[in-house]
Structure 1
Amino acid sequence: MTALLLALALLAGAVQAAESRTVLVLGDSLSAAYGLAPEQGWVALTAEKLQARYPGWRVANASVSGETTAGGASRIAGELARHKPAVVVVELGANDGLRGLPLEHTRANLEKIILASRESGARVLLVGMRLPPNFGPQYTQGFERNYVELAEAHGAALLPFLLEPIASDREAFQADNLHPVAEAQPRLRDHVWPALEPLLK
């Protein structure tokens, strides 16, 4: 009887593992909870909401502070192999923009990430960013257009601007005026969720 119960428990565990599905978040400091405890970030808060509403799902946060699209493009194959995600959330580009890197390079790197994710069988949510106006209209508009055009070209879901709910609220940011405070993270989670949830079904 003990052996039978053990075998049934092992089988149940194997079935549960097989049914478990992963959302991979590939982002920069905005997704890596810069300046906060990891559990305070919007990604961790999303993971909690995901487990409550969709128990068969989990979140793997592969975000790295300071990451550029080039860094993400160099890491995507390894992350896909490691986590085998059903959904990939790509939140990259802000550091490219702040450094004034060529738009065509950013676009090519994002495209590599999207294509690799799609080829692995994952659905993709592309999370965009916007730049301050001091970068000039040509660069800022081209930067935003990259996300829109890539999402359309490759059938990815698009959230145009991660920080939209808090962008005009100075109190929502840390002293660097770049990274959101802990109190703002639930607003980011709730902003991302409507774009993410359809990809889980």
Structure 2
Amino acid sequence: MRLNAACLALCLLSGCATPSETAVRTPQTIAFLGSSTTDGFTYPILVRQALREAGRPAPRLVNAGVGGDTTARMRQRLERDVTAFDPDLVVVQAAGNDAAHSVPVDAFTADLAAIVTALREQGAEVILLTPNVRGPARAAEEPVLEAYEQAMRAVAAAHGAGIAEASRLQKAARAGGVIVNEPDGLHVNLEGCRLLARAVLDAMGHPDVAVPAGLGIEPLPGLIGEWRITPWPAAADLSDDTVRSLDPDAGWVALTLPLAAPQAHWWQEQVRREGYAVGLERAVGPAKRYVGLATLDEPRSRQVFFNLGAGLRRLWLNGERLCEAASEFRGYHVGRERLPATLRAGVNTVVIETGSDFVLTVTEERVW
């Protein structure tokens, strides 16, 4: 399935049926490419929730957000994090970090055009999100962003991409007295994310679909929810042989995910409800790193993907190491690494090394 934003716009202008009168087809897989706001994944969750609550097909979502990324860095990882999943639609949120790092607008334009071209050549539709507004603490940056936004519009016009009018919606809300930014002035709050979802739904051809007032969060599919966790001294050995000999005793803390205690901040509450272990220093005790052990009892052998997120560094399955700690930051989100593995029939032992937050799911599909 491929979107056709041009046909939709022509239809609306010519007076033919609106999306509420005829079914607007929804892409099967949407990839969201961006930096921290995308990595946090609130607005993509709201997009899918809105479609589901409106009785429309709910797409599979790919989180390709990495906090701090410029457009150049997004271009470098495009094949690994986006095109490898063959999405029907890619929503790109760029420019904020380019402006913050004084990337020349010409360089930004070249990188964004290369991203759009590569995605269009693969057959994906592309929507570009205009930059988020800034709060009072960083208001001076907003005029700088205007040049990047105009460049973004030029790229969209030249390469057949759609535009999601996030900045216009956020500015209008702000003018009406709505606070759309976090106190840092850089990131958007839940209301700002709702406006991002509104902009994306409009660009997809769903202006009649309401954005939910709040997040309807369920635990992640395939969440490993029962753990035994212990602080692990920074200088202590954690070799493969050590992992194979682990035998949790009464000193290990039993941890059930999702955690029961609500979090004070709305986004931390989002990830808690999804099943992220947030703040092991409170649940287990202060440490620089932790070791966790879980068992999976399988009725049959099956091929799966282990999907890592947050501060999870290393993973072992039945005593065999599946991954080393990444040499670069690849995001906080679950699925930043998706490791193929075989679960055997019977009991399987999973061991992790992690920082103070982690999440781990097991799925038979790479995209959910």
TM-score under structure 1 length normalisation: 0.74
1:100 aligned counterpart, secondary structure: coil
Q: Distance in 1 between matches of 2:205 and 2:82?
A: 20
Q: Distance in 2 between matches of 1:97 and 1:130?
A: 12
Q: Counterpart of 1:158 in structure 2: which amino acid?
A: I
Question: What is the CA distance between 1:131 and its match in structure 2?
Answer: 7.1
TM-score under structure 2 length normalisation: 0.42
Question: What is the CA distance between 1:25 and its match in structure 2?
Answer: 0.6
Q: Which has the higher helix share?
A: 1
Give the 4+ runs in structure 1 shifted more than 6 A. Answer: 130-133
Question: What is the CA distance between 1:134 and its match in structure 2?
Answer: 4.0
Structure 2 residue ranges without an equivalent (≥5): 1-26, 207-368
**Identical counterparts, % of pairs:** 27
Q: Once superposed, what is the RMSD of the aligned Cα atoms?
A: 2.7
Rg larger in structure: 2
Q: Which residue of 1 aligns with 2:66?
A: 64
Q: Distance in 2 between matches of 1:60 and 1:145?
A: 27
Question: What is the CA distance between 1:95 and its match in structure 2?
Answer: 0.3
- Aligned ranges 1:173-192 → 2 under 5 Å: 173-192=181-200
Selected match of 2:115 from 113, 116, 120: 113
CA contact (8 A) 2:95 2:145 kept: no
Q: Which has the higher strand share?
A: 2
- Aligned ranges 1:61-140 → 2 under 5 Å: 61-129=63-131, 134=140, 140=145
Establish whether residue 165 from structure 1 lines up as the match of residue 173 from structure 2.
no
Q: Distance in 2 between matches of 1:136 and 1:58?
A: 33
CA contact (8 A) 1:50 1:58 kept: no
Selected match of 1:30 from 15, 28, 37: 37
2:163 aligned counterpart, secondary structure: strand
2:39 aligned counterpart, secondary structure: coil
Counterparts in 2 of 1:81 and 1:185: CA distance versus 1, 3 Å? closer
Selected match of 1:144 from 143, 149, 160: 149
Establish whether residue 42 from structure 1 lines up as the match of residue 47 from structure 2.
no
Question: What is the CA distance between 1:47 and its match in structure 2?
Answer: 2.1
Question: What is the CA distance between 1:140 and its match in structure 2?
Answer: 4.6
Q: Which residue of 2 aligns with 1:193?
A: 201
Q: Distance in 2 between matches of 1:57 and 1:165?
A: 24
Q: Distance in 2 between matches of 1:56 and 1:159?
A: 19
Instruction: Say how many residue pairs are matched.
Output: 172
Comparing both chains, which one has the higher relative contact order based on Cα–Cα distances under 8 Å and sequence gaps of 6 or more? 1
